[in-house]
Amino acid sequence: MSEPFLELVDISKNYPGVVALDHVDLSVSRGEVIALIGENGAGKSTLMRVLGGVVEPSGGLLRVDGVERSSLTVAEAIKAGIAFVHQELNLFDNLDVAGNVFIGREPVYGGPLRLIDRKQLHARVRPLLERLGADFGPDAPLAELSLAQHQLVEIMKALSLDARLVIMDEPTSSLTLTETDRLMRVIAALKADGVSVIFITHRLNEVVQCADRAVVLRDGHVVGSLRRDELAPAAMIRLMIGRDLKSLYVPPAAPPGASVLDIDGAVTSTYPDRAVSLSVRRGEILGLAGLVGSGRTELARAIFGVDPLQAGAIRLDGEAIRVASPRAAIDHGIYLIPEDRKGCGLLLDVSIAENISLPDLASYLRFFLVNTARETANARTQRERLKIRAPDVGTTVGSLSGGNQQKVVLAKWLSMRPKVLIFDEPTRGVDVGAKQEIYDMLRRLTDAGVAILMISSDMEEVIGVSDRIAVMHEGAISGFLDRSQFSEHNVLQLAVGHAVE
């Protein structure tokens, strides 16, 4: 392998309250394929954003072709030959393949008219298509191509910019097996041309298949680098975990009772050929772990009636119920605290009190009108109970911190009569102090007889708070764990689709 042309030395990135990258070193040689692995939130995406010039590091330096600099801009990154194939592709649906590849750099003729020279445009794209073995032409409309083909277009765009390094953020997460296979061949072809590739993935067998080296990140540190001959799923998992988790666990006051919510063969539109079955018992917190994209949020949305269930049944206290809308779920006492707090959970420029009363306004009626005195009084009670830090309940929710916003979402449901609470990432963007308060509240709720389903990508949270863990992998439950089996290793094994030994 030749000299590295790109080196990251001692790179750190701090966000308020979070260290995303902690003195990371990484070097990339010509034609090297590096797999970047680690749990959700280990800092993989941040590291790649530093490389792509999207994020400015707080410390450390980058060495490109021997030139040292403290950060890159996007333009400098492109000039240095670093191309980024994003998880969410940045393509124009309304253009054809060639138009996308050369967007902003179209060959023109006609002098000041700057008309697009379509002939030359297509001629320039054709060799790229051949190089990647694409099965579509330069004039194929993008809207008619599959996701995998979109990725190829992104890669062509990178190659047309003379990229020396192509970064791919979870390129295979939404590809079929054959498509994944072809992408692996494309990566091999890039390598043969001397182009380096860094790809982030959760699928360890892909790493074994095509990487020269795997770099493992954990909590913003590089915890290990495995050479080609050391690549084995077990070795990678061992490196990905291995920190001491603080024990957050508070056992329930009483052993869990009968099952309250039974999901039987639920199928969501994201994974039309996979079914999920699970049950949540009275007084227990069932953690739902899994990698991002494993179908957990979709399941939550289906249970809450936001999206229709494709198949399967939901039973509440043993009785089959139909949940056609969130209203129906709420009327049954099934409440969701959504992942996207700002988009789905709250009305940001409305007061705390009005946010809390929104789902239950009917019970604040006095002669058909909203009894604002009672609304305010109830909001004040909830503010005390959940320790929402705000000057008054008339404060608009948008001005609160993430933790306090989450407490307002929780307060909406706690003023009603919850039977089942579904939390989707309950503490994302929540500071440490508020986190603990939310965990305490979860336990108090289960002790009062509520059943809780907690979706979480935070390993510490899943292991530290749950009474039982269900793990999802590609749209189905890959296994359940009892407290005695709780370990990061076991959760990860199940999350990547392996069985627990």
Contact indicator for 249, 234 with CB cutoff of 8 Å: no
Contact indicator for 373, 462 with CB cutoff of 8 Å: no
CB atoms < 10 A from the CB of 96, how many? Answer: 23
Contact indicator for 414, 333 with CB cutoff of 8 Å: no
Regarding 362 and contact with other proteins (CB under 8 A), the answer is: yes
The 400-439 site mask, x for binding other proteins (CB under 8 A), equals xxxx-x------x---------------xxxx--------
CB of 18 or CB of 103, closer to other proteins:
18
CA distance 272 to 196: 36
Nearest to 450 by CA among 364, 289, 335: 335
Stretch that binds other proteins, among 116-124, 182-190, 398-406, 443-451 (CB under 8 A): 398-406
Using CB under 8 A, which of 188, 359, 385, 487 touches other proteins?
359
CB of 141 to other proteins, least distance (A): 23
CA distance 315 to 498: 29
Beta-bridge partner residues of 321: 314
Beta-bridge partner residues of 492: none
CA distance 261 to 317: 6
CB of 3 or CB of 56, closer to other proteins:
56
Regarding 233 and contact with other proteins (CB under 8 A), the answer is: no
Q: Element (H or E) spanning 149, and its range?
A: helix 147-160
CB of 424 to other proteins, least distance (A): 11
Regarding 358 and contact with other proteins (CB under 8 A), the answer is: yes
Contact indicator for 189, 201 with CB cutoff of 8 Å: no
CB of 227 to other proteins, least distance (A): 31
400 DSSP 8-state letter = S
Nearest to 241 by CA among 429, 454, 40: 40
Interface of this chain with other proteins, residues 84 to 123, rule: CB under 8 A:
none
Regarding 391 and contact with other proteins (CB under 8 A), the answer is: yes
Regarding 373 and contact with other proteins (CB under 8 A), the answer is: no
What is the size of the binding site for other proteins (CB under 8 A)? 48
Contact indicator for 419, 334 with CB cutoff of 8 Å: yes
Interface of this chain with other proteins, residues 19 to 78, rule: CB under 8 A:
20, 41
Regarding 398 and contact with other proteins (CB under 8 A), the answer is: yes
CB of 351 to other proteins, least distance (A): 11
Regarding 325 and contact with other proteins (CB under 8 A), the answer is: yes
Positions that interact with other proteins (CB under 8 A): 15-18, 20, 41, 304, 306, 325-327, 329-331, 336, 338, 343-350, 354, 358-359, 361-362, 364-365, 368-370, 391, 395, 398-403, 405, 412, 428-431
